[in-house]
Amino acid sequence: MNRGVEKKVYQLEDLSSLVDNVPENLQDAVTQIHYKMISHQAYDNNRYVWSKDDFELGTPLGKGKFGRVYIARERKTKFLVAMKILFKSELVKGRVEKQVLRELEIQSRLKHPNILRLFTWFYDDRKIYIALELASEGELYRHLKASPHGRFDEHRSAKYTYQVADALNYCHLNNVIHRDLKPENLLLTADDNVKLADFGWSAHTMSNKRKTMCGTLDYLPPEMIEGKAYDDSIDQWCLGVLCYEFLVGNPPFESEDSEKTYAKIRRIDLNFPKFVTLGAKDLITKLLRRNDMRISLKEVMMHPWIKENKKKPSRETFARRKP
């Protein structure tokens, strides 16, 4: 099933209707941007071959294991993207060529407001270029660590949990399991919305139960530790761990060494600090349980604690990226 956004092709005469809801002082600028976009050779043309010459590179946004990410601007429209540049030689050395190809294939198919869009990708002899939606506030993890006491208030926790549940639900409807949910794999936009990124570990499900061990230690579900087959409900487990980490500042089964973490996860040895409210505890305990008993992502989005808190105003203003 594909719930992808249907593409609307605009003509010049449609432009005035596009600015109906735009403040008057910005209407001219927005019309001009739209004009440049629909006049671009690539507009409504799947066969347009993008290359690095279409983009101007700006400052680095961050560094990953296999390359760097830069802010970049499409030359004709001035549209801003995040350009991830990977060195082929490093991918071969790290034996991750297949993982990267899988990430490209999966991410380019997914179109959802809370999933980082992959606009296009291309390569030359040495490098692979991936044009991604810009999430200018960077990793959510950095915001979590910069928050008072290293945790989010209930509003931000509920809002981000809702957005991630919505994104994961869309993935599952498209037979994709993310498998590596954690705050480091979530990015934040300038208007404070979460984007699910990093599909390197994700897999097409096609109803087969899978057995590969992957993901981050603190986020591993019991069925994976026990080497059992698992299904898309592992993402619900990870969502429970994530929501706990948002509210408490560290993941629920964190210990001094990995053996202790494994043991706690197997026993689902879950404890909450006093400040966690009843509603939040209710949601988290319904996610952090054996796989056949976890609530669905739809139920997460409808949960009373989520509904009540996601619309509350936040007590915090979110820390902006340092210039």
Active site (catalytic) residues = 180
Q: Near ligand AMP by CB under 6 A, which window of 18-26, 135-143, 158-166, 236-244? A: 135-143
Residue 183: CB minimum distance to ligand AMP, A:
11
Q: DSSP letter string over 62-91?
A: EE-SSEEEEEEEETTT--EEEEEEEEHHHH
From the list 138, 249, 251, 279, which residue makes contact with ligand AMP (rule: CB under 6 A)? 138
Return the structure tokens found at 116: 């980082």
Site for ligand AMP in 186-205 (CB under 6 A): 187, 198
Site for ligand AMP in 40-79 (CB under 6 A): 61-64, 69
130 part of the interface to ligand AMP, by CB under 6 A: no
The separation between CA 323 and the C-alpha centre of its own chain, rounded to angstroms, equals 23
Q: Say which residues have a Cβ less than 8 Å from residue 280's Cβ, sequence separation at least 6.
A: 154, 157, 243, 247, 305
| Residue 191 to residue 241: CA distance in whole angstroms | 25
Residue number, 109 or 142, with CB nearest to ligand AMP: 142
Binding-site residues sit at: 65, 84, 133-135, 184-185, 198
Return the structure tokens found at 314: 């936040």
Residue 90: CB minimum distance to ligand AMP, A:
12
Q: Near ligand AMP by CB under 6 A, which window of 133-141, 145-153, 205-213, 236-244? A: 133-141
Site for ligand AMP in 79-98 (CB under 6 A): 82, 84
| Residue 2 to residue 188: CA distance in whole angstroms | 25
From the list 85, 106, 130, 134, which residue makes contact with ligand AMP (rule: CB under 6 A)? 134
Binding-site residues for ATP sit at: 65, 84, 133-135, 184-185, 198
Which residue's structure tokens are 């706690």? Answer: 264
| Residue 235 to residue 240: CA distance in whole angstroms | 9
| CA dist list (Å): 44 to 39, 41, 48, 132, 163 | 10, 8, 9, 18, 29
Residue 133: CB minimum distance to ligand AMP, A:
6
What are the two backbone dihedrals, phi and then psi, of residue 94, each rounded to the nearest 5 degrees?
-85, 0
Residue 149: CB minimum distance to ligand AMP, A:
23
From the list 130, 131, 132, 284, which residue makes contact with ligand AMP (rule: CB under 6 A)? 132
Using DSSP, how many helices (H) and how many strands (E) does the chain show? 12, 10
Q: Which residues bind ligand AMP (CB under 6 A)?
A: 61-64, 69, 82, 84, 116, 132-136, 138-139, 187, 198
